[in-house]
A and B are shown apart, each in its own frame.
Chain A
Amino acid sequence: MNALYAGVFKRDLSLAFRQKGELLQPLMFLLIVVCLFPIGVGPGPEILQRISPGVIWIAAILSGLLGMERLFKDDFNDGTLEQLILSGLPLSGIALSKVFTHWLVSFLPIICLSPVLAMFLHMSLPMYQALIITLLLGTPLLSLIGAIATALTVSLHRGSLLVSLLLLPVFIPLLIFATSAVESAAMQLSYGPQVAIISAMTCLALASAPFAISYALKVSQH
């Protein structure tokens, strides 16, 4: 546990903060995409409010995918992954730690930024509350599932577009329930069921993804 923290988590975090540009790019991307919508569809508050949950969620998914490639690629290319596999640490633990770091550096800033986005799009307070709950529960799922696809394609030369193509359809259920939760909140309805389903999906991914990722990483070494 300690070795995982000191050797993997701290390392990934210091690497991430060493490349500040790459850290900020997905965030700027998200901000700009969300800003484009009022320009594109007109600034009418009603339309913006109606499309706001979808816009924010889609932008979050896309910007999350931007940083996804980095998750294992550099480590694979420079041989760090080999050394990690041979370190005697459980590979699933390493995978989980890397996924957690990815979530911390790419999704947590988005969640912190979300009040600003909600204001841009005229979200009401109940809508915003629902949005932040779905983001908190749903974005770990994006990181976990995304990491499986990234690990599978890590040995390919140009895998990034393929990862996006593989992943976007997989995220449809999450998108449906997340936006539906926010819409229910807009109509003052209970959105408990949607949140429960998102949590269930995240729990399932949390329990199984580390093993899938570690298997994919082992296969990448062949």
Chain B
Amino acid sequence: MAELVASQLSCMKRDKVLFESLSLSLSPGQLVHLRGPNGAGKTSLLRILAGLSQPDTGTVTWNNRAIDNEFQRRLVYLGHKAGLSAGLSAIENLTFWCAQHHIRVSETTLFEVLEVLSLVGLEEIPVRLLSAGQQRRVALARLWLKSSDIWILDEPFTALDTDGVALIQARCETFVRQGGAVIVTSHQPLSMKDMPVSVIELEGQL
């Protein structure tokens, strides 16, 4: 099965060791909640797992192979930055994103997803005119659009209202039940209904 394994990772930032000898594995049907104080290296770890940056030591493998394009095709990564162009509308942003990620998507599907996220009526407005929470919702629409095996979500609940948080948590739950794997950082406790959540604590050293 498609398993993401990280072994003996270490990461240094500004001459400070964020984490070392960190190993973790993420298998299908697993939800991992990565926790830790600010500056503990959560984002750095997620970026390493996604393949955006390289660890100082250690390896990340997927299906026993080093992570490559094949992995990234099965991945949805959402970082701090929403990845939306401020000058384009929600629908344009998502259409272009789908084209880049080789996703065939019809206009109807896009509108359905926007409806789920209560963004109907805002789809033609440039994203910069939307509120922070609405922008986050546009970014999170990707979770509905791309069929994938693994999600790496960095603080997905930032700026979302309670309905939004519940919506995304429900979406994560469905995805995990269908055999997806999710690793998520959040300062809020995850409230999944009868679903085991593995917690990884990054301590963060002073």
Contact = CB atoms under 8 A, between A and B. Distances in A.
Interface of A: 3, 6-8, 10-11, 14-15, 18-19, 74-75, 77-80, 82-89, 221-222
A7 B88 contact: no
Nearest to A77: B81
Contact of A83 (B69, B100, B102): B100
Nearest to A85: B52
Contacts of B186: none
Contacts of A83: 77, 83, 97, 100
Contacts of A3: 99-102
A222 B53 contact: yes
A15 B92 CA distance: 10
A6 B99 contact: yes
Given A15-B88, A82-B52, A222-B53, A89 B100 contact: yes
A87 B72 contact: yes
B45 to A, nearest CB: 14
A-B complex: 10 closest residue pairs judged by Cβ atoms: A79-B81, A7-B99, A7-B100, A79-B83, A6-B99, A11-B96, A83-B83, A87-B100, A88-B69, A88-B73
Nearest to B126: A18
Contacts of A221: 47, 52-53
B51 interface: yes
Contacts of A89: 100
Contact of A88 (B85, B99, B102): B102
B87 A15 contact: yes
Interface size class of B (residues with CB under 8 A): 20 to 34
Contact of B50 (A8, A80, A86, A88): A86
Nearest to A74: B85
29 contacts: A3-B101, A7-B96, A7-B97, A7-B98, A8-B96, A10-B96, A11-B85, A11-B88, A15-B87, A18-B126, A74-B85, A78-B82, A78-B83, A79-B81, A80-B83, A80-B85, A82-B77, A83-B97, A85-B52, A86-B50, A86-B77, A87-B102, A88-B70, A88-B72, A88-B101, A89-B100, A221-B47, A221-B52, A222-B54
A96 B57 CA distance: 32
Interface string B100-128: 11100000000000000000000000100
Given A77-B81, A79-B81, A86-B52, 4 more contacts: A14-B92, A15-B85, A79-B80, A82-B52
B51 A86 contact: yes
A68 B21 CA distance: 42
B86 to A, nearest CB: 6
A82 B83 contact: yes
A173 B61 CA distance: 46
B100 A82 contact: no
B77 to A, nearest CB: 5
Interface centre among A75, A87, A221, A222 (most CB of B within 10 A): A87
